[in-house]
């Protein structure tokens, strides 16, 4: 094995300057199902691919979370790690509201969670979080989407995909994304992204979605009926 023992702890660099434990965590994210974040002037969309088991309750999502009334998270990778980080973000957001009497900015929450994730790369006896998260919402500065990865890096995007097949989906987003598109078209684009490798592009069976519109500035889960309506616009987007 190329790591030759340098992967035993996240505190050890390999001779070529790599931290294998962090790279393994990032690989875990690449094996997770897709998560999409799309920002427009009308709001932000978060969507995930979730394949429910036969007897599983289908109207509950395991991979989209609400942090504050104006912020949501879509996760890819090892979801229990996301759940713990989201609980952390909720406490931080409420603390900010109690201290400053105003809603927290998306960038502030993203940096806080990235700093927390980074701490798990610096100490023996712990492992890096095996999840990446798209943090999306609307604050005083407008619409914002950030991605946090297991290394503690956080980067702002206008549209992004994480998880299995993300490179191909991000190329698809580059071809089809328009910052002036409507929120409905952004939702349709997210559905197209999740079905990119399937023959039927407008299938919603495995899609869970949430949005924060610029009008309400409140996190909302998207109903199956609304997903059905959004899917009618999927034909607008092409991978050619």
Q: HSE of 216 in the Cβ direction (CA atoms, 13 Å)?
A: 11
- Looking up residue 213, the CATH number of its domain turns out to be 3.60.20.10
Count structural domains, the chain: 1
Residue 113 lies in domain = 29-232
Mean pLDDT (10-residue bins), the chain, 240 residues: 72 88 94 96 96 82 94 96 96 96 96 96 90 97 96 97 96 95 96 90 91 96 94 86
Within a 10 A sphere around the Cβ of 20, how many other Cβ atoms?
20
Q: What is the pLDDT, as a whole number, of residue 2? A: 57
Is 82 exposed, middle or buried (CB count within 10 Å of its CB: 0-12, 13-18, 19+)?
Answer: buried
Q: What is the pLDDT of residue 28?
A: 94
Q: Is residue 49 part of a domain?
A: yes
In a domain, 35, yes or no: yes
13: in domain: no
Does residue 230 sit in helix, strand or coil?
A: helix
Domain for residue 100, yes or no? yes
Is residue 17 situated within a structural domain? Answer: no
Asked whether residue 5 is assigned to any structural domain, the reply reads no
| Residue 204 is assigned to a structural domain of this protein | yes
What is the pLDDT at residue 157? 98
pLDDT at 5: 79
Contact 85, 227 (CB under 8 A): no
Q: Which pLDDT score is estimated for 240? A: 67
Q: pTM for the full model?
A: 0.93
Within-domain flag for 8: no
């Amino acid at each position: 094995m190329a790591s030759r023992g340098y992967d035993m702890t996240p505190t050890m660099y390999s001779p070529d300057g790599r931290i294998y434990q962090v790279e393994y965590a990032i690989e875990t994210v690449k094996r997770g199902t897709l998560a999409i974040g799309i920002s427009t002037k009308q709001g932000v969309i978060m969507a995930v691919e979730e394949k429910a088991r036969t007897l599983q309750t289908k109207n509950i999502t395991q991979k989209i979370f609400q942090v504050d009334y104006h912020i949501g998270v879509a996760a890819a990778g090892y979801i229990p790690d996301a759940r713990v980080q989201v609980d952390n973000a909720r406490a931080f957001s409420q603390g900010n509201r109690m201290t400053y009497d105003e809603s927290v900015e998306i960038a502030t929450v993203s940096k806080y969670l990235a700093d927390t994730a980074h701490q798990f790369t610096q100490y023996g006896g712990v492992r890096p979080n095996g999840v990446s998260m798209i943090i999306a919402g609307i604050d005083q500065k407008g619409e914002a989407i950030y991605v946090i990865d297991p290394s503690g890096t956080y980067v702002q995007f206008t549209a992004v995909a994480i998880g299995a097949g993300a490179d191909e989906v991000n190329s698809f987003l580059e071809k089809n994304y328009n910052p002036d598109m409507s929120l409905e078209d952004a939702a349709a684009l997210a559905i197209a992204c999740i079905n990119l490798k399937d023959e039927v592009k407008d299938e919603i069976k495995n899609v869970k979605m949430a949005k924060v519109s610029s009008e309400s500035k409140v996190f909302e889960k998207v109903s199956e009926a609304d997903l059905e309506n959004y899917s009618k616009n999927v034909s607008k987007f092409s991978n050619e």
